[in-house]
Amino acid sequence: MKKLIVFDLDGTLAESKSALDTEMATLLSTLLRIVKVAVISGGNWQQFQEQLLSNLPHDEHLKNLSMLPTCGTKFYQYKSGWEQLYAENFSEKENQKIVRSLKEVIDSLAFEAHETWGEVIEDRGSQITFSALGQQAPLEEKEKWDPDFTKRKKMKEALDRLIPEFSVRLGGTTSIDITKLGIDKAYGIRKLREILGIAITEMIFVGDALFPGGNDYPAKEAGVVSIQVRDSNESKRVVEAIIACLSDSQTST
């Protein structure tokens, strides 16, 4: 029986930069009552609070929830409140090199958008995130920019040559996440194993970017049983199935 269910956030539990809808919030609340849950996503802590926590009941079941923003480069646990256990932040020199390289690639590939909504390059401390149309772009605009990942794959190839000492992953709808080398969702999975004392074989990972180069792929590489989903609606059906299986297992024991 699995002891920990790990989810991506954007594109898995909710639409990009959007809050959990009522159905997903209810399903997650039910899941938290019967098993430990973790969320690892490229978003920063504020995004986790707005998209996820503000839509879940503030009760004792939050102790079953682990939060790993910025692709596992940070880790939060709930005790009397939310506490940060670690943060793998960039140095100022590393930060500057990544931002400079991103700007160079955007210019060389002519991928600068004519209209943007919010920051295009965001410093999240332990992660630099490129969002082609800005952090607050409407979902319908974001879905049109790079639906088949062609643009971002070209960017990743160029960035891998320029900054090979960092991890470059595709995430979200228009984004690229850059972290320290080896500090990615696989690192987050290993931290969950270490901190919660749960074996990787006792985990399930659910995400929408489990393809090579996607920011969920390192979790799969870490050896977690992984379930690829298309969107949050498909994730709901997966959560329902997990709840049914876990409830049956607990009833039979």
Question: Can you list the domains of the chain with their CATH numbers?
Answer: 4-88+183-252 (3.40.50.1000), 92-180 (3.30.1240.20)
Q: Is residue 10 a known part of a binding site? A: yes
User: What is the identity of the amino acid at 79?
Assistant: K
Please list the pLDDT of the chain residue by residue as tens digits (253 residues).
899 999 999 999 999 889 999 999 999 999 999 999 999 998 899 999 999 999 999 999 999 999 999 999 999 999 989 999 999 999 999 999 999 999 999 999 999 999 999 999 999 999 999 999 999 999 999 999 999 999 999 999 999 999 999 999 998 889 999 999 999 999 999 999 999 999 999 999 999 999 998 999 999 999 999 999 999 999 999 999 999 999 887 766 5
Which of these is catalytic: 8, 146, 184, 216?
A: 8
Contact 227, 204 (CB under 8 A): yes
- The reply to whether 8 sits in an annotated binding site is yes
pLDDT score for 12: 96
10 assigned to active site: yes
CA 125 to CA 206: how far, in whole Å?
25
**Hey, is 4 helix, strand or coil?**
strand
Q: Is 59 a catalytic residue?
A: no
Query: Tell me, what DSSP letter sits at residue 89?
Result: P
Give the integer Cα–Cα distance in Å for 248 and 253: 9
Burial of 30 (0-12, 13-18, 19+ CB in 10 A): middle
Backbone angles phi, psi at 230, to 5 degrees: -85, -35
Model confidence, pTM: 0.89
Around Cβ 248, how many Cβ atoms within 10 Å? 11
R_g of the chain, CA atoms, integer Å: 18
Q: Phi first, then psi: what are they for 74, rounded to 5°?
A: -135, 155
C-alpha to C-alpha distance for 238 and 227, rounded to whole angstroms: 8
β-pairing, 4-7 vs 203-207, is parallel
State phi, psi for 117 to the nearest 5 degrees. Answer: -130, 95
184 is in an annotated binding site: no
